[in-house]
Amino acid sequence: MDFSLSLKLLSPNLLLCIGSLVILMAGLWVKSSRYLLLVSSLFILASVTCVFSIAKIAPTSYFGGLVFHDPFSLFFSILFPLVILFALIMATTLMRY
């Protein structure tokens, strides 16, 4: 398997990592929780969209067998970002009170 396909399969996780770094750095300068929620929601939705775009690829291993692409990993690639999004929404509503 070539490197570009491996990066395509890893793109949802890469988006979450890049998004978390952006949110951490933006939190130093931006104090608006609505803005941070919006930016983090965009990164999470982009990650879930990437999962749906790679869902049709046949189960395989990539990066020399270190990471696997199968229905089980797709399920958790959708579940974790949605749980994070739910936690972000709950945190911003609790910060208002």
Where do the domains of the chain lie?
3-95
91 phi and psi angles, rounded to 5 deg: -65, -40
pLDDT of residue 97: 58
Mean pLDDT of 14-40: 89
Residue with the two structure tokens 């951490």: 24
Mean pLDDT of 80-84: 92
- Its pTM stands at 0.84
pLDDT category at 12 given cuts 50, 70, 90 is very high
pLDDT category at 51 given cuts 50, 70, 90 is very high
pLDDT of residue 17: 93
Q: Which residues face 68 on adjacent strands?
A: 61
Q: Which residues face 61 on adjacent strands?
A: 68
Percent of the chain with pLDDT over 70: 96
